[in-house]
Amino acid sequence: MENDYICILEGITKTFTVAEQVVNVLRGIDLKIKKGEFIAIMGPSGSGKTTLMNILGCLDTPTSGSYLLSGKEVANLSDDQLSIIRNEHIGFIFQSFFLLPYATVLENVLLPTLYIEKDSKDFKKRAKEILALVGLEDKIKYKPNQLSGGQQQRVAIARALINDPDLLLADEPTGQLDSKTSTEIMNLLTNMNKKGKTIIVITHDLNIASYANRIIKIVDGLIVS
């Protein structure tokens, strides 16, 4: 059933022109991801995994091919339309936490809600609930520089969850963390997946990929396994 899938990519290509040379980064990606899956995408540097993530996250559009996100064709949408899709349906977790240094933990988590017309009290209540979920209920008034790296990543995860996205995309989410903290973050993502979130992790680390239910390997712009 097509309704079982959150992401359906067919014949996705992406080319860039660099110094008048055409570079084929993605060369025909076919991929289906079911709702509630935990996927790891692996590949060496230059394999196209980051470009694939950008397309999955509606941060970029393919040169050709079809991408259905929750049943909606998004491959040919405008930048404004893509920004609405991102805000309503996708949560992002990056290796660099991208927290505003002058804002509190609570304010950082609430950032994605600034563009949504809804009572701010509802979002504040939800933000506090999510911060409790990630173990930071006692840190809501702290600034990022008062937190450890692992705590900052937890804030970033809470921010990614505030709009209740259908899809969570994590790009090397433990890249700046020690092994103990990495395990804590991956256990947290695993728990999110058990609650029904579809999660896609981009990683080069087999230990991180082992948390996923399915590992997709990409080499030279093609899925090889």
Q: Is residue 67 part of a domain?
A: no
Q: Is 62 helix (H, G, I), strand (E, B) or coil?
A: coil
CATH code of the domain in which 103 resides: 3.40.50.300
Q: Is residue 20 part of a domain?
A: no
Domain that holds residue 194: 38-50+78-223
Q: Is residue 58 part of a domain?
A: no
Mean pLDDT of 60-64: 95
Residue 59 per-residue DSSP state:
S
User: Which sign, positive or negative, has the C-alpha torsion 52, 56, 62, 66?
Assistant: positive
Q: Give tens-digit pLDDT for 121-163.
A: 788 999 999 999 999 999 999 999 999 999 999 999 999 999 8
Q: Is residue 150 part of a domain?
A: yes
Q: Is residue 30 part of a domain?
A: no
The confidence score (pLDDT) of residue 115 equals: 72
The confidence score (pLDDT) of residue 88 equals: 86
pTM reported for the whole predicted model: 0.91
Residue 8 per-residue DSSP state:
E
User: What proportion of the chain, given as a percentage, has pLDDT over 90?
Assistant: 76
Give, rounded to a whole angstrom, the gap between the first and last alpha carbons of the chain: 23
The confidence score (pLDDT) of residue 58 equals: 95
Overall number of domains in the chain: 1
Q: Kindly report the average pLDDT of the chain as a whole number.
A: 92
Q: Is residue 15 part of a domain?
A: no
Q: Is residue 179 part of a domain?
A: yes
User: Which sign, positive or negative, has the C-alpha torsion 199, 147, 59, 133?
Assistant: positive
Q: Please say if the pLDDT value at position 118 is more than 80.
A: no
Question: Among 119-123, 171-175, 220-224, which stretch is predicted with the lowest mean pLDDT?
Answer: 119-123
Spatial separation of the C-alpha atoms in residues 6 and 111, rounded to whole Å: 25
Spatial separation of the C-alpha atoms in residues 61 and 126, rounded to whole Å: 32
Q: What is the largest CA-CA distance in the chain?
A: 54
